[in-house]
A = this chain, B = another copy of it.
Amino acid sequence: MTETAVIAGVGPGLGESLARRFLDEGCRVGLFARSESYLEELSAELGESALAVPTDITDPTAVEAGFEAVRAEFGPIDVLLNHASGGAWEGVQDISPTAFERAWRVSAYGGLLCSQAAIPDMLEGDGGTIIFTGATSAVRGRDGAVGFSAAKFAVRGMAESMARELGPKGIHVAHVVIDGQISPPEGTAETDRAEEEFLDPDSIADSYWHLVTQDRSSWTLELDLRPHVEPF
């Protein structure tokens, strides 16, 4: 397959692993993130099939321009990975309304904007795939993380609604529940935890790619991923 994918919310870690994996499979990949310098460095490293598009995914105009830039370079969008996520790991007494809003805006509102920009290409073409990166807090509201929980639940609700609406039109919408901590990029963190307690981002990328390759007769809406030792 030579597909054009957009990864909205690339960063060191899973975002980069997804980019590398999709490139390895022959895709051309548009990378959205806010930091211009990080993106340029990354795309230089990834080669000609990767396009850095500094984009604030919470700004409708910027999102439209970002997709236009990818389209101009690689053609219509086939795959969208809504991968951006906002922190907001505070309890209800501590979180500011602004931080609560920010978590939602980056993951839910940004996910809507990117999806709305990508869907027309998919409908005109041969269908497509939209994958949302979720978390355990999308299925169990977490003590002390009211903003993150509300945002991740919102994303899951959006993904389910879109799956029901778009499936019959040939667009596969999926939601991946990542349960546990992803290995920090080498050299970025010291940790006492054993390696096997982390999710390997390259392994996560295997399951994202599997979702993209699923035949439309057997599509998955949701799967969970966790290290084999993770208590849950």
Q: What residues make up the interface of A, taking CB atoms closer than 8 Å to B? A: 60, 91-93, 95, 97, 100-101, 104, 108-109, 112-113, 115-116, 119, 137-138, 140-146, 149-168, 170, 172, 183, 196, 198-200, 203-204, 206-207, 210, 213-232
Q: List 24 A-B contacts (CB under 8 A).
A: A92-B112, A92-B116, A93-B119, A95-B112, A101-B109, A104-B108, A112-B150, A137-B161, A141-B156, A141-B159, A143-B164, A143-B165, A149-B158, A149-B161, A151-B157, A196-B217, A199-B217, A200-B218, A203-B215, A207-B214, A207-B218, A218-B226, A222-B224, A223-B223
| A108 / chain B contacts, CB cutoff of 8 Å | 104, 150, 154
Smallest CB–CB gap between A101 and chain B, Å?
6
Given contacts A162-B146, A228-B219, contact A154 B104 (CB under 8 A): yes
B206 near A218: Cβ-Cβ < 8 Å: yes
How distant is the Cα of A97 from the Cα of B115 in the complex, in angstroms?
Answer: 11
Given contacts A100-B112, A206-B218, contact A142 B164 (CB under 8 A): yes
B203 near A218: Cβ-Cβ < 8 Å: yes
Contact of A203 (CB < 8 Å), options: B153, B159, B214: B214
Name the residue in A138, A160, A199, A204 with the highest tally of chain B Cβ atoms < 10 Å from its Cβ: A160
Smallest CB–CB gap between A56 and chain B, Å?
14
Smallest CB–CB gap between A213 and chain B, Å?
8
Smallest CB–CB gap between A228 and chain B, Å?
4
A119 near B92: Cβ-Cβ < 8 Å: yes
Smallest CB–CB gap between A124 and chain B, Å?
13
A228 near B93: Cβ-Cβ < 8 Å: no
Smallest CB–CB gap between A227 and chain B, Å?
5
